[in-house]
């Protein structure tokens, strides 16, 4: 069953700024959707429009087949977790969680039961009488989630909830959020700028760029078949090597002297891409091209090698490769590489669409 539908939803501010041109999205019940994009891409605005904190100036938002455009946030049956948690500083953890229920006229015994259930689930039982000021970042985060869960809403909205936590806690909370969401089966809309978070959490990802949905799909779809160079560079870390090139009769012409063979009807300017992990080291005879090493990042389990494409024309094109295990090539030495055709991504330079 389709739970949330965004139909041609757009936002223009009174000053004429076109924040979101148009977004279409339908979310199945229980689905975990992540909105991801660089800062300023409109992902938070879109989330706040679903929440009712920003007005929708175009299109229609429906939750369970009910038009929500003009409903107050409280009437939409959604719950939101904010980046800075937005806990009420003068209320105890218990009251923070109970406040929304109290305002909705839920009975006292009911509230107690619901809060204690959620507190149990999140391990907050011992903290119920504390105030937010006495909690650590992770605990506050949990309370913020508890406040959302206790109401048992139709939709959860998360606005970069993990960005205030340290790296280790972030990984832990990420897993916890995923497990909780699976257990509760509540439809979730989650905003983040962190592509790792996006990839690990999402059932489906929406990559936003300048208020437009560049691509919507499962994490693996986006990784394997990015629709545009933007998605290609955004998903995956380190990001995909994207080189401007020309598609000519013989193949892809990276420079005057470097042509990778490919048969394709299309001719003209393209963007050629390959992920750092798909480049393979080989010997000189079989290699497609050579890389002049500029910097090496050893991460233990893998090594990132930054270099420039060795090219007679003198143009410098940087490239990253990712090798598993430790490697220690000399700076300024040459590495011979194969770029397997099946891992190529070719985009039209003008339309920015995948070929």
Q: Does 111 interact with another protein (rule: CB under 8 A)?
A: no
Q: In what order do the strands lie in the sheet with 2-12?
A: 66-67, 58-63, 2-12, 18-28, 212-217, 204-209, 32-36, 187-192, 155-159, 78-81
- Considering only CA atoms, which of 275, 253, 289, 266 is closest in space to residue 354? 266
Considering only residues 30, 38, 59, 100, which one is a binding residue for another protein as defined by CB under 8 A?
A: 100
- Return the residue matching tokens 């090594």: 303
Q: Tell me whether residue 164 or residue 233 sits nearer to another protein (CB atom).
A: 164
Query: Among 86, 242, 287, 293, which residue interacts with another protein (rule: CB under 8 A)?
Result: 86
Residues 132-151 contacting another protein, CB under 8 A = 133, 147
Whole-number Å distance between alpha carbons of 334 and 104: 68
Closest to another protein by CB, 19 vs 346, is 19
User: Residue 253 CB, nearest distance to another protein (Å)?
Assistant: 52
103 binds another protein (CB under 8 A): yes
**251 touches another protein (CB under 8 A):** no
Compute the distance between CA of residue 142 and CA of residue 87 in angstroms, rounded to an integer. 11
Backbone angles phi, psi at 310, to 5 degrees: -80, 120
* 3-class secondary structure, 15: coil
| Helix ranges restricted to H, the chain | 43-51, 93-103, 108-122, 137-149, 167-184, 195-201, 219-224, 229-234
Residue 21 as a binder of another protein (CB under 8 A): the answer is no
Please state the closest distance from residue 70 (CB atom) to another protein, in A.
15
Among 16, 89, 261, 300, binds another protein (CB under 8 A): 89
Q: Pick from 79, 201, 205, 274: which binds another protein (CB under 8 A)?
A: 79
Among 29, 53, 311, 338, binds another protein (CB under 8 A): 53
Burial class (CB in 10 A: 0-12, 13-18, 19+), 103: exposed
Q: Does 106 bind another protein (CB under 8 A)?
A: no
13 binds another protein (CB under 8 A): no
Give the residue, chosen from 74, 175, 248, 331, that forms a contact with another protein under the rule CB under 8 A.
Answer: 74
What CA–CA distance (Å, rounded) separates 205 from 131?
A: 36
- C-beta separation of 243 from 249 below 8 A: no
Out of 67, 90, 264, 315, point to the residue binding another protein (CB under 8 A). Answer: 90
Binding of another protein by 73 (CB under 8 A): yes
Closest approach of Cβ 86 to another protein, in Å? 4
Contact status, residue 347 vs residue 270, Cβ threshold 8 Å: yes
Residue 100 CB, nearest approach to another protein (Å): 4
Q: How far is the CB of 117 from another protein (least distance, A)?
A: 18
Residue 88 in the binding site for another protein (CB under 8 A)? yes
Residue ranges in contact with another protein by CB under 8 A = 51-53, 72-74, 78-80, 82-84, 86-91, 99-100, 103-104, 133, 147
């Amino acid at each position: 069953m389709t739970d949330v539908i965004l139909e041609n939803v757009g936002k223009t501010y009174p000053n004429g700024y076109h924040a979101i041109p148009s977004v279409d999205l339908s979310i199945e019940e229980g689905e975990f959707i992540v909105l991801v994009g660089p800062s300023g891409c409109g992902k938070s605005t879109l989330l706040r429009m679903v929440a009712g904190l920003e007005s929708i100036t175009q299109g229609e938002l429906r939750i369970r087949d009910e038009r929500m455009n003009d409903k107050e946030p409280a009437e939409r049956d959604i719950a939101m977790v904010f980046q800075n948690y937005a806990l009420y500083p003068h209320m105890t953890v218990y009251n923070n969680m109970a406040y929304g229920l109290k305002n909705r006229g839920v009975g006292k015994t009911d509230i107690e039961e619901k809060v204690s259930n959620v507190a149990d689930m999140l391990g907050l039982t011992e903290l119920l009488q504390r105030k937010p000021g006495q909690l650590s970042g992770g605990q506050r985060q949990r309370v913020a989630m508890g406040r959302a869960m206790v109401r048992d809403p139709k939709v959860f909205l998360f606005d970069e909830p993990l960005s205030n936590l340290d790296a280790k806690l972030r990984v832990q909370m990420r897993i916890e959020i995923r497990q909780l969401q699976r257990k509760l089966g509540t439809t979730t809309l989650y905003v983040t700028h962190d592509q790792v978070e996006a990839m690990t959490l999402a059932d489906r990802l929406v990559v936003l760029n300048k208020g437009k949905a560049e691509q919507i799909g499962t994490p693996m779809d986006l990784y394997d078949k990015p629709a545009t160079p933007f998605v290609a560079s955004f998903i995956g870390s380190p990001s995909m090597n994207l080189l401007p090139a020309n598609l000519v009769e013989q193949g892809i012409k990276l420079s005057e002297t470097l042509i990778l063979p490919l048969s394709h009807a299309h001719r003209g300017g393209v963007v050629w891409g390959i992920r750092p992990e798909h480049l393979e080291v080989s010997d000189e005879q079989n290699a497609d091209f050579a890389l002049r090493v500029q910097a090496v990042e050893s991460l233990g389990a893998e090594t990132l090698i930054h270099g420039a494409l060795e090219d007679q024309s003198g143009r410098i094109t940087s490239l990253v490769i990712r090798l598993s295990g430790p490697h220690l090539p000399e700076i300024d030495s040459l590495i011979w590489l194969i770029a397997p055709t099946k891992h190529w991504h070719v985009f039209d330079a003008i339309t920015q669409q995948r070929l």
